[in-house]
């Protein structure tokens, strides 16, 4: 049985594909290898995946519906895990159309192909960004998500709505996953941990927004991957729910579900930086700045419903996770130092 992983050269997609390959699964990976960040990092991830004979890589853009249809028809995936997207909250403010094309049009093509091929389970990446201006913590999957703070979150919200319509109309089983600040080895250069570590080692200032009065529910990538793997075996089923429950955002009478995936242990930004300083042995040069447009002060994930289904909670501590990332960073970027 083929499993299709989109965004296979990306951060989470790479880790998931590698995990599945080590489990002996047949993985078809697609990615457009865009230049949002270093293509050499993406190609190095792919080189690791391509060592496995049960891995097939196809370079396409999800906007190219015809090419995507050919992939589906040739490889006939029974499970589709859509992790391809234009990432970055701040980048969406300056480049809104990139998000429309990649995150909305591309996802619609995934839905169409999955519907036509009668995919058994479509799992797709949403984001904690959908909670937007909601300030009641922890964020629950049933909370309202009608007030996104940036276009990135709005596109992820649209994915959830599109998925529900296909689940309802075509009985396509879909599971949306709201990721909470995923980090770890092979992470993206635009993410906070990477930028902090890179700047610290290179003697540059690190930028601390909202004067450090922020917290994030940092979630280690291996915990994300374990959760996704376990979810594969639990496609949602159509059900008869009470009218009240039908109108919650995370469940439906259709074969549709939404879950948070987070560590459920928010960490203050300054504590996060302090842990990086401990691991690197270098005191950071800090530049305190006001809140950035499109950002939010705090995130925290309620995940009990996911745990009850799959019997697993993210468990990697921030100390372990940062140590692991710094080891990788030094081996990849500072081999001669």
Q: What is the pLDDT of residue 86?
A: 84
Q: What is the pLDDT of residue 243?
A: 47
pLDDT tens per residue across span 20-56: 999 999 999 999 999 988 999 999 999 999 999 999 9
* 3-state SS, residue 302: coil
Residue 332's closest CA among 45, 87, 50? Answer: 45
Q: What is the pLDDT of residue 96?
A: 87
pLDDT tens per residue across span 290-309: 988 878 899 999 999 999 99
Per the document, the length of the chain is: 337
d(CA 248, CA 250): 6
Question: CB of 196 within 8 A of CB of 277?
Answer: no
Q: What is the pLDDT of residue 293?
A: 82
Helices and strands per DSSP (H, E), number in the chain: 13, 13
So which residues are the catalytic ones? 152
Q: What is the pLDDT of residue 246?
A: 52
d(CA 299, CA 214): 9
Low-confidence residues of the chain: pLDDT under 70: 240-247, 335-337
User: What residue spans define the domains of the chain?
Assistant: 2-181+221-264+300-315
The CATH number assigned to the domain with range 2-181+221-264+300-315 reads 3.40.50.720
Question: CB of 115 within 8 A of CB of 278?
Answer: no
* 3-state SS, residue 122: strand
What's the predicted TM-score (pTM) here? Answer: 0.95
Return the ∠ at Cα 78 (arms to 77 and 83), rounded to 5°. Answer: 70
pLDDT tens per residue across span 248-291: 778 788 999 999 999 999 999 999 999 999 999 999 999 999 98
């Amino acid at each position: 049985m083929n499993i299709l992983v989109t965004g296979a050269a990306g951060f989470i997609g790479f880790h998931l594909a590698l995990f599945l390959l080590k489990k002996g699964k047949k993985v078809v990976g697609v990615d457009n290898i865009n230049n949002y960040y270093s293509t050499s990092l993406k190609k190095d991830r792919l080189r690791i995946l391509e060592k496995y004979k049960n891995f097939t890589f196809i370079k396409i853009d999800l906007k190219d519906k015809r090419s995507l249809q050919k992939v589906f028809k040739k490889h006939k995936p029974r499970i589709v895990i859509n992790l391809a997207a234009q990432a970055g909250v701040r980048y969406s403010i300056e480049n809104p159309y990139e998000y429309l094309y990649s995150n909305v049009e591309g996802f619609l093509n995934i839905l169409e192909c999955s519907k036509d091929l009668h995919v058994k389970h479509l799992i797709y990446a949403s984001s904690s960004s959908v909670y937007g201006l909601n300030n009641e913590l922890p964020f629950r999957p049933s909370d309202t998500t009608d007030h996104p703070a940036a276009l990135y979150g709005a596109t992820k919200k649209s994915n959830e709505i599109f998925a529900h319509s296909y689940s309802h109309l075509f009985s396509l089983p879909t599971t949306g996953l709201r990721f909470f600040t995923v980090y770890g080895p092979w992470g993206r250069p635009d993410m906070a941990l990477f930028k902090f570590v890179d700047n610290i080692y290179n003697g540059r200032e690190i930028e601390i927004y909202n004067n450090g009065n922020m917290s994030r529910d940092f979630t280690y990538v291996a915990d994300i991957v374990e959760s996704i793997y376990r979810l594969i075996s639990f496609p949602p089923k159509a059900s008869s729910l009470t009218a009240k429950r039908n109108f919650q955002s995370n469940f439906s009478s259709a074969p549709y579900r939404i879950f948070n995936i987070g560590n459920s242990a928010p960490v203050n930004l300054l504590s996060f930086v302090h842990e990086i300083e401990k691991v690197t042995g270098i005191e950071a040069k800090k530049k305190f700045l006001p809140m950035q447009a499109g950002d939010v002060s705090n995130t925290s994930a309620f995940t009990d419903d996911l745990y009850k289904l799959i019997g697993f909670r993210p468990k990697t501590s921030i100390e372990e996770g940062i140590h692991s990332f710094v080891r990788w960073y030094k081996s990849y970027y500072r081999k001669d130092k």
